[in-house]
Amino acid sequence: MLIFGFHIKTSSHLHHCHSSTMVRIPEVKLSSGGKPMPRIGVGTAVFPFASSEAMRATILRSIELGYRHFDTAAIYQSEEPLGAAIADALRAGAIRSRDELFITSKLWCSDAHPHLVLPALQKTLRNLQLEYLDLYLVHWPVSTRPGKYELPPAKEDLLPIDMSAVWRAMEECHALGLTRSIGVSNFSSKKLETLLSIAKIPPAVNQGNKVEVNPLWQQQKLREFCVAKGIQVCAYSPLGAKGTHWGQNWVMDCGVLEDIAAAKGKTLAQICLRWVYEQGDCVLVKSFNEERMVENLDILDWELSEEEKHEIGQIPQRKGFPGLDFVSDDAPYKSTAELSSSSSSMARMPEVRLSSGGKPMPRIGMGTAVFPFASSEAMRAAILRSIELGYRHFDTAALYQSEEPLGAAIADALRAGAIRSRDELFITSKLWCSDAHPHLVLPALQKTLRNLQLEYLDLYLVHWPVSTRPGKYVLPPAKEDLLPIDMSAVWRAMEECHALGLTRSIGVSNFSSKKLETLLSIAKIPPAVNQVLIIQPNEMHDLISDMVG
């Protein structure tokens, strides 16, 4: 690892101005063998856009303070001010050569077409008044209609990207010496895996909002993948991008981080930046305030304790930028799960229409019955990952102790942008035997909805054609608690739940054809579904015999 030194004033010296302190910013070698990348850089993405003069002055002051790594992009409208600031710095003697700087820019989606990559880079170099970049990135794994530089892009302009051909064009730019290294931005591990399978020159860096990294979105799995493949992570939004259209206040309002900052005599921003730095990532900072520019560099001569790192590791995770700008029903990516997947053609599960006229049911669903019961956190994580993979049908029950984790996972998926609406999901739950009494059906469903944090179910089932003594959620039920079910009255209560809009469809579970025949003779709304065990272990036959008779 190479390092270089420069002089800045620490935050305390800004107030006391007694002396200056040498700060040494480490650099990291990239797999491409290009120039090492300084691990603290200056981002230039500001929305709404800053004036060219303000951006130019800020970058020049950053160079004077010792920053050497600058990140821009065609979409940011900051390439020309950055180029002007570099020229200013050379004239002023703040740097002796452009080679002292590490400059990154990015290929915007409207230029992510094979024949446009080289012209786009050449335009970027003209804007920057440079002969080469140190790093050129594919901004998103998405193409848009050529000629438009818009963020967010219009949904009708979203197009599938020919990643293989685009990457070949990036490799050609590298071969021409126009960029020392090439990489990507906003790529998931699956997108990276696909790219690595076709690349002659593997991406040296993965940066961007999909690589949003901060204590509230820690990206451990993506980082582990990148480290294993020799791809350097460059963390964006280390403070949560507060003030942008995609950002949130969650990071800067986090009580855990506030407490650690107070205990260490640091700012909350410094705690975040130091945490990202200790993960091995490069980090991009951004400020037009000189005191904060200096403060952002003052993270190198102290460490977080193991206890503090453990506390940060326990912070509940919340993704700030879901990527919804790049998904649409009519676009190559229908959801952020598809945007993250290895191809834009995530399998769309066939659905079947129900007789009740409710929402069609996906024909492959995820069950949540686990005995002995799984931990809530394990269940929640498994369901969230299932949603990200494309599952949309989830089956739970009052008995399974999985309603609350399922509800939490749905909330997680909405926050993360894996789904845009609860309406994308098909959620089933079931009335347990101890609530299979006419006066308990509605309260039981209302409790289920509270557990799930939902306003309605897509399907509510009578779990067994059996009642048990109220108040006990036990499987198998005690023999002495088994009671005859008043199926007619219980079904009327189920129909009332349907009429109230609390469930879109109603049905049954574990009903034989004879039991169904009896129910059909009394039902105003026939059951839309009968959920049954198709392959049953021998011990389940005994349980069914005991309960159904």
Query: Is the four-CA dihedral 185, 219, 212, 337 of positive or negative sign?
Result: positive
Nearest-angstrom CA–CA distance, 84 and 128: 7
Residue 226 sits at the vertex; the CA angle it makes with 224 and 230, to the nearest 5 degrees, is: 120
Residues 152 and 218 in one domain: yes
Answer whether residue 196 is part of any domain.
yes
Distant-in-sequence, close-in-space partners of 264: CB < 8 Å, separation ≥ 6: 271, 302, 308
Asked if 103 contacts 70 with a C-beta cutoff of 8 angstroms, the reply is: yes
Instruction: Give the domain CATH number at 484.
Output: 3.20.20.100
Q: What are phi and psi of 531, to 5 degrees?
A: -90, 125
Residues 309 and 362 in one domain: no
Residues 365 and 230 in one domain: no
Give the active site residue among 76, 236, 277, 460.
Answer: 76
Answer whether residue 324 is part of any domain.
no
Nearest-angstrom CA–CA distance, 188 and 176: 28
Nearest-angstrom CA–CA distance, 97 and 187: 33
Residue 415, domain extent:
351-548
Question: Number of structural domains, the chain?
Answer: 2
Buried/exposed 159-172: b ≥16 CB within 10 Å, e otherwise: bebebeebbbbbee
Domain stops at, among 284, 313, 342: 313
Residues 307 and 213 in one domain: yes
Q: Which helix (H) or strand (E) holds 30?
A: none
Q: What is the pLDDT along the chain (549 residues), one digit of tens a residue?
A: 222 233 333 333 333 333 344 367 899 999 988 899 999 999 998 877 788 999 999 999 999 999 999 999 999 999 999 999 999 999 999 999 999 999 999 999 999 999 999 999 999 999 999 999 999 999 999 999 999 888 888 888 888 899 999 999 999 999 999 999 999 998 988 899 999 999 999 999 999 654 567 787 777 888 889 999 999 999 876 676 555 544 566 788 888 999 999 999 999 999 989 988 998 999 999 888 899 999 999 999 999 999 999 998 888 776 655 555 555 555 555 555 555 554 444 455 788 999 877 789 999 999 998 877 778 888 998 999 888 888 999 999 999 999 999 999 999 888 877 888 899 999 999 999 999 999 999 999 999 999 999 999 999 999 999 999 998 888 888 999 999 999 999 999 999 999 999 999 999 999 999 999 999 999 999 999 999 876 544 444 444 454 444
Residues 32 and 106 in one domain: yes
Q: Residue 190 class from Cβ within 10 Å (0-12 exposed, 13-18 middle, 19+ buried)?
A: middle
Answer whether residue 3 is part of any domain.
no
pTM for the whole thing? 0.60
136 is catalytic: no
Answer whether residue 117 is part of any domain.
yes
Answer whether residue 542 is part of any domain.
yes
Domain stops at, among 313, 330, 361: 313
Nearest-angstrom CA–CA distance, 169 and 175: 10
Residues 85 and 214 in one domain: yes
Place of tokens 């326990």: 314
Residues 299 and 369 in one domain: no
Distant-in-sequence, close-in-space partners of 513: CB < 8 Å, separation ≥ 6: none
Domain stops at, among 293, 313, 333: 313
Residues 282 and 397 in one domain: no
Nearest-angstrom CA–CA distance, 132 and 176: 10
